[in-house]
Structure 1
Amino acid sequence: MDDLDRLMKALPEDEQRAVAKRSEELVTAHNLRELRALVGRTQEDVSARTGFKQTNVSRLEKRADMKLSTLRDYVESLGGTLKIVADVAGKKVDLSSIAERSRQSSKF
């Protein structure tokens, strides 16, 4: 159990429900198109910021599988940061360094 889990369990049940409800409200995007719309950007905006052609942005938003570096570039074009967290046996492990290494290796 991590610190956040302990903190949540220490809250009264009504507050736990309120936090859970609010976190669900904040996580509203289920795909890249929804994420882009959430921040008010167009495919053309993403194209200009990433250097991808607009048609490629459209294809990317429909893909289920892509390189971490491509996903990172897309998220950063929206003003965000890609975070990768594995939840294994109740332990949360930040794997974001994998995306950062993909950035460094793509420069060579």
Structure 2
Amino acid sequence: MAGRHSFAELRARMTSEAQKQVEIASLSLEEEMDLAEVRRAMKLSQDELAQTLQVGQGSVAKIEKRADMYVSTLRRFIEAMGGELEITAKFGGHSVKIKSFSDLSEKRGIER
């Protein structure tokens, strides 16, 4: 497989105009989008994301189509696009951010 690159490296290679377009796209993200829509809004190809995740392009395609996956898989996918995953439970008019998922990576010494 081709060389692996972090999202920061890929972004650094983009022209300043392309970086501005990504910034605008990220600000205009809709409230609800599927993973493929988020990736496209971030101006990333499946191959670019696959390189960051160190998986094949086909694996990215499969992840984008899945209706059910591990939280850790979703977190890696979102972080590879430069985002941060937050899990929130809503109870009527009250929301609670669930922190135990983020605590797991910190307890294991995994970089975020």
Runs (4+) off by over 4 Å: 102-105
Q: Which of the residues 47, 54, 76 maps onto 2:50? A: 47
Q: Between Structure 1 and Structure 2, whose CA radius of gyration is higher?
A: 1
Residues matched between the structures, number: 83
Match of 2:76 in 1: 73
Normalised by the length of structure 2, the TM-score is 0.64
| Structure in which a larger fraction of residues adopt helix | 1
CA RMSD of aligned residues (A): 2.3
Preserved contact between residue 88 and residue 98 of structure 2 (Cα < 8 Å): yes
Secondary structure of 1:30 counterpart: coil
Q: Gapped runs of 5+ residues in structure 1?
A: 1-24
Normalised by the length of structure 1, the TM-score is 0.66
1:38-57 CA-partner distances (Å, limit 9, x unpaired): 01001111111111211110
Preserved contact between residue 68 and residue 102 of structure 1 (Cα < 8 Å): no
Q: Provide the C-alpha distance between the structure 2 equivalents of 1:40 and 1:68, rounded to a whole number of angstroms.
A: 24
Q: State, as a whole percentage, how many aligned pairs show the same letter.
A: 33
Secondary structure of 1:45 counterpart: helix
Q: How many Å apart are 1:102 and its aligned residue?
A: 5.5
Q: Provide the C-alpha distance between the structure 2 equivalents of 1:66 and 1:54, rounded to a whole number of angstroms.
A: 17
Match of 1:11 in 2: none
Q: How many Å apart are 1:96 and its aligned residue?
A: 4.0
Q: Gapped runs of 5+ residues in structure 2?
A: 1-27
